[in-house]
Structure 1
Amino acid sequence: MSTFIAAFLFLLVFFLLMSIGYLIKRKAVQGSCGGLGVLGIEKACDCDEPCDRRKAKDAKEKARQERLAQHRII
């Protein structure tokens, strides 16, 4: 039982430190492997011409990023 409590406390402290780091830097946690970029794939949908649904989703995300950039405090 003490091993379970020690592991739980360790994870709790770990997540607390990650949360503090996020609040200070305002930067999301990123992986180090590079993801699809390592395989030479630019995006999740590797089509030459994306479908209308994908175009709408990309436009919505771009507008969201622009709004965030305009209202950024730091």
Structure 2
Amino acid sequence: MQHLSWFCHINTLVKKAWQCLYHLRRLKDFKLPSKVLKMFYTCTIESILTGSITAWFGNSTKQDRRVLQRVV
């Protein structure tokens, strides 16, 4: 039981978020209004990062939190 950690879960979330950030940068290249870009960020990237955050964030390590912060 002591070997359990949230590292794999957080790592998966970060990978998904980075993939969506790529799409956000591509949308920015099309000169979309900032309101649309913010909406895309909120609906995709932010929802990925905050899904079930109350369950795992308190038990994550400082390093895991730094990795998440880099995405934000």
Question: TM-score, length-normalised on structure 1?
Answer: 0.36
Which structure is larger by alpha-carbon Rg, 1 or 2?
1
Flag the structure with higher helix content.
2
Give the structure, 1 or 2, with the largest relative contact order (CA under 8 Å, sep 6 or more).
2
Question: TM-score, length-normalised on structure 2?
Answer: 0.37
